Amino acid sequence: MAYLTAQALMRGTKERSFNQIFESIESIGARLSLGASTHTTFMQGKALAEDLQVILSLLSEVLRNPNFPKSQIDRLKGEHLTSLAIRDQDTGARAQLAFDELAYRDHPYSLPTSGYKDTISTISAANIRTFHRKSFGPQGMVLAVVGAVEAKAVIAAVERALGEWHNPRQQPHPELPPVGKPSGLLRKLVYLPGKSQCDIVLGTPGPSRFDEDYMAASLGNSILGRFGMYGRIGDAVRESAGLAYYAYSSVSGGPGPGPWQVVAGVNPNGVEKAIDLIRGEIRKIVTKRVTKRELTENQANYIGRLPLQLESNEGVAGSLLHIERYDLGLDYYQRFPDLVASVTKDDVFRAAKRYLDPDHLAIAIAGPIGEEA
């Protein structure tokens, strides 16, 4: 519902049709888009500095006064059902869906934000209007504006566009239920005949962004499967064994415990060997501390790439949102080099042991191998 509602906001308002909305954006060479993820509805806009008020006014209009015309909702659903049909034949997407179902069993994180064919088909324009009335409001909204504009002028423009927005029916976000580690090695195979490769997603729930050991886990993950040619996993599975087209790991902690997972695309004949090698690298990082060289190289990489992140307006805006969303403090990026440099080998070892266990993993495989499970 949240995903479809966000996509539908710009399909028409009480003042303008779908075509009129996009004509007004294109006439000033601007961009404006809205979407939704697990925890947030988000917008991204870009325009000349002198057109800030135009973009903010349009944002206010689509947020506060959408009319969700039935013809546009039906069209949007048709487009989305097509994308879900494509997803159904994508080995990477199917492996990720299966992993989420295993790792987050009976938890909201087991459900895809984009939904399923059966659920999307039953949602009506009336459902979306009801959801919008009870879920959309200014409470919890964070807005970052970066560019050739003065702060006072921005505050005045935002006040004009959104200052009168109130919704007493807006509901607070629900609390996330707890989640534990997989009970042993949980496996799911999604049989997709006619594909040339299998995708593997293997891992476990990891830290949230609020966890005190998030930085240590992030650095440990970089050593495990990100740095250089995808770290230890890339070296073992792709470079040395030649089993994978790609093999890397990721930590995606947000407001809740996002997955610490490994993703690999392999030849169907190499699936089991690739899984054994990945588990072997996980076993190493939870039984022996990383080397000093590995840690210092990854710390230097984290610190060195920070200026690149802040070179563009988009990068600065994203960084400001990150600070606000996770209550990091306005001086976070000034403290960032010291925070990274203060992480020790012991910190990485403790974080890895807390979350990773080679004998307790969710393992999802999608591709032309075995029988559908």
Quick one: residue 279, left, alpha or beta (phi over 0 = left, psi -120 to 50 = alpha)?
A: alpha
Q: How far apart are CA 296 and CA 61, in angstroms?
A: 50
Whole-angstrom Cα Rg for the chain: 23
Q: Burial, 222: exposed, middle or buried (Cβ in 10 Å; 0-12, 13-18, 19+)?
A: buried
Please answer whether residues 186 and 275 qualify as being in contact, where contact means their C-beta atoms are separated by less than 8 angstroms: no
Q: How far apart are CA 21 and CA 19, in angstroms?
A: 5
pLDDT of 106 over the 70 cut: yes
Dump pLDDT digits (tens) for 115-148.
Answer: 999 999 999 999 999 999 999 999 999 999 999 9
Count the neighbouring beta carbons within 10 Å of the beta carbon of residue 212. 9
CB burial of 57-95 (b: ≥16 within 10 Å; e: otherwise) equals ebbbbbbbebbbbeebbeebbeebeeebeebeeebbbbb
pLDDT of residue 370: 60
DSSP state for residue 81 in the 8-state scheme = H
Q: Where are the alpha helices (DSSP H) in 9-45?
A: 18-26
The percentage of residues in the chain with a pLDDT greater than 70, rounded to a whole number, is: 99
Q: Rounded to 5 degrees, what angle do the CA atoms 207, 212, 214 make? A: 45
pLDDT of residue 299: 98
Dump pLDDT digits (tens) for 325-372.
Answer: 999 999 999 999 999 999 999 999 999 999 999 999 999 999 998 644
Q: Burial, 100: exposed, middle or buried (Cβ in 10 Å; 0-12, 13-18, 19+)?
A: buried
Dump pLDDT digits (tens) for 37-72.
Answer: 999 999 999 999 999 999 999 999 999 999 999 999
Question: Does residue 203 sit in helix, strand or coil?
Answer: strand
| CATH class of domain segment(s) 185-367 | alpha beta
Q: How far is CA 99 from CA 146, 221, 271, in A?
A: 38, 18, 16
- DSSP one-letter string for 295-357: HHHHHHHHHHHHHHHTSSHHHHHHHHHHHHHTT--TTHHHHHHHHHHT--HHHHHHHHHHH--
Q: Give the orientation angle of helix 292-309 with respect to helix 332-341, to 10 degrees.
A: 170
pLDDT of residue 9: 97
What homologous superfamily does CATH list for 2-162?
Metalloenzyme, LuxS/M16 peptidase-like (3.30.830.10)
pLDDT of residue 372: 40
Residues of the chain with CATH 3.30.830.10: 2-162, 185-367
From start to end of the chain, where are the E strands? 31-36, 41-46, 185-191, 198-205, 244-251, 259-266, 361-367
Please, which pLDDT band fits residue 173 given cuts at 50, 70 and 90?
confident
The pTM score is 0.93
Question: Does residue 358 sit in helix, strand or coil?
Answer: coil
Please answer whether residues 317 and 145 qualify as being in contact, where contact means their C-beta atoms are separated by less than 8 angstroms: yes
Dump pLDDT digits (tens) for 237-264.
Answer: 999 999 999 999 999 989 999 999 999 9
Q: How far apart are CA 165 and CA 64, in angstroms?
A: 7
Q: How would you classify the pairing of strands 185-191 and 361-367? A: parallel
Q: How far apart are CA 75 and CA 200, in angstroms?
A: 34
Q: Rounded to 5 degrees, what angle do the CA atoms 102, 93, 201 make? A: 50
